[in-house]
């Protein structure tokens, strides 16, 4: 087995039954059953609730001229309930609308959450934030922006969303990885990518459209 195969996800022979609708609100919650064959242990039946998040995008907006990364602050009720600190620092992110192109979704989310238009933009990688309970599948983009005229508040009015954009030096953002306070996965993954690639940003954006 190659190193690439060693770390790759692969299809499963599990037999999946469902869905059974449990709740249909801001997100759809479904009940599912999975049957797994476990050798000498026989069949294992898993009853699971799945929150349907679907395809999402995240954006790492950088201003190369000013050497800045654009982030947002946003209240998250689950974080508030979990830690008492629900005013999170985040990267731009959001759901892809039905039939929407991923890049178009990234540009739209960037405008909604920061008021900025993307110049050059390129996809980087995708990941599953919490595959144990949510089917959310996120594609991360790098986008070139001008951070000079950030609004103090933004957010999609039809979603009752409130975001507070701000710009930080890219070097400070990378250094924040040594700070235990940044807690959300999207932010930490974005900062890790920046730590590995911040010196190559002009080159990477140079290949973008």
159 is catalytic: yes
User: In sequence order, what are the residues at sequence separation of 6 or more whose Cβ sits closer than 8 angstroms to the Cβ of residue 133?
Assistant: 48, 49, 50, 51
Give the DSSP letter string of 60-72. EEEETTTTEEEEE
Give the DSSP letter string of 69-121. EEEEEEE-HHHHHHHS--EEEE-EEEEPPTT--HHHHHHHHHHHHHS---SSE
Q: Which of 17, 97, 153, 159 is catalytic?
A: 159
CA distance 168 to 61: 11
Best CA proximity match to 198, nearest among 178, 166, 179, 170: 170
User: In sequence order, what are the residues at sequence separation of 6 or more whose Cβ sits closer than 8 angstroms to the Cβ of residue 30?
Assistant: 18, 19, 20, 21, 22, 49, 50, 52
Question: Are 20 and 30 in contact, with CB atoms under 8 Å apart?
Answer: yes
Residue 76 CA from chain centroid, whole number: 14
Instruction: Catalogue the active-site residues.
Output: 159
């Amino acid at each position: 087995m190659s190193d690439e195969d060693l770390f790759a996800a692969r299809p499963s022979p599990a037999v999946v039954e469902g869905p059974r609708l449990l709740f249909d609100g801001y997100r759809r919650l479904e009940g599912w059953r999975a049957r797994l064959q476990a050798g000498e242990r026989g069949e294992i039946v898993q009853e699971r609730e799945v929150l349907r998040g679907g395809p999402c995008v995240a954006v790492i907006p950088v201003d190369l001229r000013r050497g800045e990364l654009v982030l947002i602050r946003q209240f998250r009720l689950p974080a508030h309930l979990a830690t008492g600190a629900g005013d999170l620092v985040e990267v731009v992110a959001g759901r892809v609308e039905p039939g929407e192109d991923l890049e178009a979704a990234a540009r739209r989310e960037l405008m909604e959450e920061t008021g900025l238009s993307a110049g050059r933009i390129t996809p980087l990688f995708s990941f599953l934030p919490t595959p144990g309970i949510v089917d959310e599948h996120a594609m991360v983009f790098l986008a070139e922006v001008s951070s000079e005229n950030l609004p103090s508040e933004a957010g999609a009015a039809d979603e009752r969303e409130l975001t507070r954009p701000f710009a930080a030096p890219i070097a400070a953002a990378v250094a924040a990885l040594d700070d235990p306070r940044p807690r959300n996965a999207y932010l930490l993954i974005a900062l890790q990518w920046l730590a590995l690639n911040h010196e190559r940003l002009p080159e990477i954006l140079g290949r973008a459209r």
